[in-house]
Amino acid sequence: MENKTFDKKPIIISAWICAGKTYLTKKYDNVTELPSGDYKYILTEEQKAVVNKESLKSTQRAINPAWPQNYYDAILEEAKNGLHEIILIAPCMPFEEMRNYGIDFILAYPEPACKDEYKRRARSRGANEEFVKRVETKIETDYAEFLNQPNEKIIIQQGEYLEDALIRVGILKANN
């Protein structure tokens, strides 16, 4: 793939877990993802060797002392480099702190009615049961917090993935 730069400022989207962020980065050249775990944790050699990183979620890992500023800096740096039109980030950030740090982002969250669908998605990608339980217990409280944020919002509806929602609202053009 050639390195092509884009003239306009990229759109940063904080999308909820299991929404399809990684899938989008594999399908679209103009989309990238910055998984927060790459910045939040210091992994042991054993954890680094794990093939399915999903299985590490909701397990004990050492917190990187540079967290969360190292993640914020990485987001801003990725936005500056102009290589992608859409940057997907984690939904686990303190939103006000991110805004105060200078990160302008859209929120994309599923309706709470999607709970069973998201639990299935978590299981199908190899997440452990503790993570699946987190999906079940956090979808409603995270959605309520999402609604209270001043950011632009995209509600992911039942049966939709992030790709579908972004196409529906006109941020993304279908890549067949």
pLDDT at site 35: 86
**Where do runs of H (alpha helix) occur along 65-114?**
69-81, 95-100
pTM equals: 0.87
15-44, pLDDT tens digit by residue? 999 999 999 999 999 999 998 888 888 877
pLDDT at site 125: 85
pLDDT at site 42: 85
pLDDT at site 126: 84
pLDDT at site 1: 42
Q: What is the distance between the alpha carbons of residues 119 and 107, in angstroms, rounded to a whole number?
A: 20
pLDDT at site 3: 55
Below-50 pLDDT ranges, the chain: 1-2
